[in-house]
Amino acid sequence: MQYDIVIIGSGPAGYVTAIRAGQLGLKTAIIEKDKIGGMCLNWGCIPSKSILESAKVFQKVKNDAASFGVTGFDKKNIGFDWKQSIKRTDGIVRKLGAGINFLFKKNGVELISGTAKIMSENSVLVDNRLLETKNILIATGSRQEKINAKLPEGLVVEIADLFRDREIPENIVVLGQNTVAVELAQFFNLIEKKVTLLVPGSNIMPLADSYVREYMKNLLTKSGVKIIYDVDDNLSGFQYKDGALVSKDMNIPCDFLLNSKMRKGTLPESDINLTIEDGFIKTDDDFTTNFPSVYAIGDVNGKSFYAHIASAEGLHVVNHIKGITEKIDLKKFPLNMYTVPEVAQIGETEDELKASGADYKVSEYSMFANGKAMIEGENTGFVRILSDTKYGEVLGVQIVASNATDMIAEAGAFMQVESTIYDIAKTVHAHPTISEVFMEAGIEGSK
Amino acid sequence: MRYIFNFPDIGEGLDEGTIVEWYVSKGQQINSGDSLVKMETDKVVADIPSPKSGVIAAIYGKVGETIHVGNALVEIEIEGVSGAAAIEEAAPKEAVKEEGAGVVGTLEIAGNNAFLPASEEGTKENQSTTEKTTKKVLATPVARAVAKDLGVNINMVTGSGPAGRVMKEDVHAYLQKNGTSSPGRTVQQTVAEDRVELKPLTQLRKTIAKNMLQSKHNAAHMTVFDEVEVSELVRIREKYKEIFLKKEVKLSYLPFVLKATALALKKFKALNAQMDMENNQMIYKNYYNIGIAVDTEDGLIVPVIKDVDKLSILQIAQKINEISEKARKREVSMEDMKDGTFTITSFGSIGGQFAVPVINYPQAAILGIGRILKKPVVKGDAVVPGTIMPLSLSVDHRIVDGGETARFINQIMEYLSDPVSLIMD
């Protein structure tokens, strides 16, 4: 028996691909060595956003509820229960995992538990079973590199290990520069821990537009997160002494060091020589490796670390196997950051446009005077549209708003159909809504 | 609010026009659609309608002055414009691009069809066909803007987007593959300048080229030749030439051919029809508007004589005289060239006996009249001198079969060989 496709890894890259392949009638097997849903569902996107939501509710109740007219509680008694927030998170994760399992069954996808080994470009070994297949899809994801430093046992917490019943001490240090690092730093800040963010390099959120980044830096600093730049990502120059990371000129209290360093591809065991570049499997624009029948999608190919991009890559591969070739434009996928307020961005950043010498125009509109935002008590932020001067094409959009990660979908639709800023201005938005600001920015840009 | 109306692009490639006559003056109340000004461009004289209702606040340009496309023609004070309308005003370019039926769009369409008329305004069947021919290709707003800007016909571009949607990149790819559409540039690069003369295409030449190609691409041309003995017609024409001259009307053979054709069309409906492929139907027209191909210095134009079947020979002759005069003065309007159902080209007045005329698409047929000449003809068993009019009839074989074509040309020949029969039916 031969499979059309054997998928290694059931994260958002693997499972979305498996379900689509099954729907299109391909004989599909998916191999998972741990939990269905991978990093995103079990230890990443879903749990981290879930605990962030708990923290936001905590803050809202503690600091805002009274002003909304809610009475009957003593502010001093309001606390945050980590255990309960994890319990709630587990419930969500379980439900979603069961959902994926159901879709596998419904669409004829065979789920195999075990660790895969690629034997040849057309065969995979799992659990002493040799699967013959026309195509292999590697979707094994990525994980943080370990912090290579002499630190006491138990001090370093890997993100995959975070979401469990544990004591959360007072002094939290997060090491990393990416969005996840910022999100987690903010989470601990929201539950009123003392947080230091150690940033390897000179910037947080390297993918964000610098305008957005500056905005977020200010916001973080104002909320009490201490940011230290240009820290070595193995903490060289630091020693751990008396509950603190100590260097020549710094003493950072640290009871808990969260590792959110750069990620590296999780490479599957393989008897074929896949080309590896900087710790990731090298692929072409159709995500084919140096073997035409072997594809690599998601984090493991190093092109992006976003779940929705991994899924989109998977759908592209299914089309490719089916002989449908279309270009995939990674610029037209939203980049979401679940900070408070949320940040979302799509398309070109202003830095990229400047570098390419493009003629562009920036149209910005603030959340400040938006009725719905005021009602919700969340009127910080803005919508920023970058459009081409000649035709008005929408080249990029950045949103900072409490619900920016949802609002960005509209910008995605406009960019998918290559719309102009005039189209945004002409699209009637209901009142009162926060998304009105998007239209206002469009009108601003059409002037 | 104040609305500035710029001289719209009334045809591809055209960039200026001359003011012939102002219909409005400052302070005048006008309604949307009212004619503002008569503009002359190349060969066409067009009335420019107002896109808005309001009061004329300012007028730019005097009679005889040249106005460039995009420059202001008039300012209109519009009352009670709400916020939403103001937004629309903020993006006038886009509104025009998207609608295709807006002021500029309408003119564009009229401009394209002006020379070889195809529309039959006011008839129900036609509305659907006009819509079909201007049907929007699926394309992104930016792709449309880029195509318009670079002069690419977006209908020719293959789309790579979802459901074949034309994306910006497809327009660029098309342009790269097909080069800029002007062959003049290629010549310029390869031939020494003194050996060729480079002249930009006039709007009229572009339209002729486009319509001729459209016809050759879409219609299945079939041509039949015949000769008709017209001694009697010559005699009658000689006699009435003098009589008509007293009424200051020049009488050629053309009015007789027009009348004969109109009457024959009444009997053979397919020759006066049009095929509507989109709706799987034939459109038979119960009116007989015959276009006559007129040779001008700038190129071919086809003014239309309407309801020929209802006109006398004198009336037809008068209309032909009028239209020739207009053509000479470059005053033929779009109205004069609209709604033809059949076309006659009398190249014989210049020379040539037979030709394969190109159908004025989407009409079903075109009749060519060659040079009338003396020839020996057989009458009974004797060879006698005769006067021959050569006929060349091209039909769209999709619409008309061979038998019908032969019967139709026979009918015309019967009328022309015995002109009295023109008033006997």
> Residue A130 in 3-state DSSP?
strand
State the Cα–Cα distance between residues B5 and B76, nearest whole angstrom. 7
Question: Which of B90, B142, B149 is opposite residue A425, by nearest beta carbon?
Answer: B90
Weakest-pLDDT range from A125-129, A362-366, B31-35:
B31-35
One DSSP character per residue, A355-366 reads HHT--EEEEEEE
Q: Which residue has the tokens 């008709």?
A: B228
pLDDT surpassing 80 at residue A226? yes
The pLDDT value recorded for residue B97 is 33
The pLDDT value recorded for residue B115 is 36
The pLDDT value recorded for residue A402 is 93
State the Cα–Cα distance between residues B29 and B49, nearest whole angstrom. 14
Domains belonging to chain A, first-starting first, are 2-60+68-143+264-330 (3.50.50.60), 146-261 (3.50.50.60), 341-446 (3.30.390.30)
CB burial of residue A364 (10 Å; 0-12, 13-18, 19+):
middle
The number of beta carbons lying within 10 Å of the beta carbon of residue B85 is: 13
Has B397 been annotated as catalytic?
Answer: yes
CB contact (8 A) between residue B141 and residue A419: yes
First to last CA, chain A: 64
Alpha helices in A377-420 (DSSP H): 404-416
The pLDDT value recorded for residue B102 is 29
Task: Choose between A265 and B86: higher pLDDT.
Answer: A265
Architecture of domain B124-190: Irregular (4.10)
The pLDDT value recorded for residue B43 is 55
The pLDDT value recorded for residue B137 is 83
Tell me: the pLDDT tens digits for A30-76? 999 999 999 999 988 999 999 999 999 999 999 999 999 999 999 88
Weakest-pLDDT range from B178-187, B276-285, B294-303:
B178-187
The pLDDT value recorded for residue A294 is 97
The pLDDT value recorded for residue A317 is 96
> A356: which residues sit within 8 A by CB, 6+ positions away?
A348
Tell me: the pLDDT tens digits for A68-106? 999 999 988 999 999 999 999 999 999 999 999 999 999
Contact B91/A at CB under 8 A: yes
Task: Output Rg (C-alpha) for chain A, integer angstroms.
Answer: 23
Alpha helices in B160-202 (DSSP H): 168-178, 183-190
B92: which chain A residues are within 8 Å (Cβ-Cβ)?
none
Tell me: the pLDDT tens digits for A254-298? 999 999 998 999 999 999 999 999 999 999 999 999 999 999 999
Per domain, the residue ranges of chain B are: 2-113, 124-190, 220-423
Q: Which residues pair with B221 in a beta bridge?
A: B396
Q: Which residue has the tokens 């051919």?
A: B257
Tell me: the pLDDT tens digits for B400-414? 999 999 999 999 999
**Rounded percentage of chain B residues whose pLDDT exceeds 70:** 80
State the Cα–Cα distance between residues A222 and A209, nearest whole angstrom. 20
For residues B262, B268, B271, B276, the Cα torsion angle rounded to the nearest 10 degrees is: 120
CA angle A326, A329, A331 (to 5 degrees): 170
The pLDDT value recorded for residue B180 is 54
Q: Which two tokens stand for residue B355?
A: 């030709």
With contact defined as beta carbons under 8 Å apart, do A400 and A346 qualify?
no
First to last CA, chain B: 62
With contact defined as beta carbons under 8 Å apart, do A58 and A119 qualify?
no
Contact A359/B at CB under 8 A: no
* Pairs of residues, one from chain A and one from chain B, whose beta carbons lie less than 8 Å apart: 51
Q: What are the backbone angles phi and psi of residue B166, rounded to the nearest 5°?
A: -80, 120
Closest residue of chain A to B147, computed from CA coordinates: A391
Q: Is the dihedral of CA B168, B170, B172, B174 positive or negative?
A: negative
Q: Which two tokens stand for residue B425?
A: 């039916």
CATH code of the domain made up of B220-423: 3.30.559.10
> B201: which residues sit within 8 A by CB, 6+ positions away?
B13, B182, B184, B209
Q: Which two tokens stand for residue A92?
A: 């969500």
Tell me: the pLDDT tens digits for B334-373? 788 889 999 999 999 888 999 999 999 999 999 999 999 9
Q: Which two tokens stand for residue A255?
A: 């009871």
Q: How close, in Å, is residue A315 to chain B by CA atoms?
A: 14
State the Cα–Cα distance between residues B74 and B39, nearest whole angstrom. 13
CA angle B207, B210, B211 (to 5 degrees): 85
| Closest by CA position to A424, among listed A327, A354, A342, A347 | A347
**Rounded percentage of chain A residues whose pLDDT exceeds 90:** 88
> Residue B254 in 3-state DSSP?
helix
pLDDT surpassing 60 at residue B91? no
Question: Which of A327, A388, A422 is opposite residue B91, by nearest beta carbon?
Answer: A422
Q: Which residues pair with A295 in a beta bridge?
A: A137, A288
Distances (CA, A) of A358 to A351, A366, A388, A389, B176: 11, 25, 8, 9, 21
Weakest-pLDDT range from A154-168, A392-406, B32-46, B230-244:
B32-46
Confidence of residue B164 (pLDDT cuts 50, 70, 90): confident
CB contact (8 A) between residue A327 and residue B160: yes
Tell me: the pLDDT tens digits for B128-144? 333 344 456 899 999 99
State the Cα–Cα distance between residues B378 and A209, nearest whole angstrom. 92
At the topology level, CATH places domain B2-113 in OB fold (Dihydrolipoamide Acetyltransferase, E2P) (2.40.50)
> B66: which residues sit within 8 A by CB, 6+ positions away?
B16, B17, B18, B19
The pLDDT value recorded for residue B95 is 34
Q: How high is the mean pLDDT of chain A?
A: 94
What ipTM was predicted for this assembly?
A: 0.75
Q: How high is the mean pLDDT of chain B?
A: 80
Q: Which of A338-347, A406-415, B81-90, B319-328 has the highest mean pLDDT?
A: A406-415
| Closest by CA position to A280, among listed A143, A377, A387 | A143
